[in-house]
Amino acid sequence: MLHRIFFLCLFVALYTSGSSLRCRWMDHKFRQCSENSLNLLETMANNSTNTTEDAEVTFPKDLYSQFLFNAEDKLVFTVQVLEEVSVLFEEDHSSASWEKSTVEHFLSVAIYLSIYLSIYLSIYLSIYLSIYLSIYLSIYLSIYLSIYLSIYLSIYLMMILFYLQDHSAAAWELIRKEIQTHLLRIDQLISSVLTANN
């Protein structure tokens, strides 16, 4: 009996390790939620009466090229960014002229994406790491990459929060524009993962 269970587990592990990062959720729900979040940000812009032509907070674009060598790194990066965006939009944004329901809906979509991508990534990496990677590589992925991304994203968020010191409506509009640009890039990043795994 124990041998049958072992061979079943081995078969499932080998079968899933050979499969790509594609799944029904990534193909349909992720795209749907991503489009929904971008539409909500656009709705927030349509409801806004603020302008921010002179201010600029740019995302450290070198993060896109430094660690995003494979699909797993892209997913880790996407999860980290979605978590940071969620934290940012939990700040006091009452001075912005956005509808509260739109912001709450956007926040719930971002949290939903973050949670489900985390679950998807943990399942995939647990199978992948258990079969192919040594302990050293798993430690590298889980610690070094997470720390590096966290430091860069934290610095970026500190710059954003610096602009939000007075919680002005103009500052929130600047943040909305930056987040929209960033979510578009993340959508392209995940699309590249999905097309590479066709």
Which one, of 88, 50, 58, 76, lies nearest residue 148 by Cα? 76
pTM of the complete model: 0.62
Q: What is the C-alpha to C-alpha distance for residues 179 and 181, in angstroms, rounded to an integer?
A: 5
Q: Based on the number of CB atoms within 10 Å of its own CB, is 153 exposed (0-12), middle (13-18) or buried (19 or more)?
A: buried
Q: What is the pLDDT of residue 10?
A: 39
Q: What is the C-alpha to C-alpha distance for residues 169 and 49, in angstroms, rounded to an integer?
A: 9
Q: What is the C-alpha to C-alpha distance for residues 35 and 51, in angstroms, rounded to an integer?
A: 24
Q: Which CATH architecture has domain 2-196?
A: Up-down Bundle (1.20)
The DSSP call for residue 22 is -
Q: 159 by DSSP, 3-state: which?
A: helix
User: Is the CB of residue 175 less than 8 Å from the CB of residue 44?
Assistant: no
The CA–CA distances, whole Å, from 108 to 34, 83, 90, 105, 157 equal: 12, 11, 11, 5, 20
Q: What is the C-alpha to C-alpha distance for residues 55 and 169, in angstroms, rounded to an integer?
A: 13
- Domain segments of the chain as ranges: 2-196
- Radius of gyration for the alpha carbons in the chain, expressed in angstroms and rounded: 19
Q: What is the pLDDT along the chain (198 residues), one digit of tens a residue?
A: 444 444 444 344 444 444 445 566 666 777 787 787 888 878 877 665 555 555 555 555 665 665 556 777 777 778 888 888 888 788 777 777 788 888 888 888 888 888 888 877 777 666 655 655 555 555 555 565 566 666 666 666 666 666 666 666 777 777 788 778 778 887 877 777 777 665
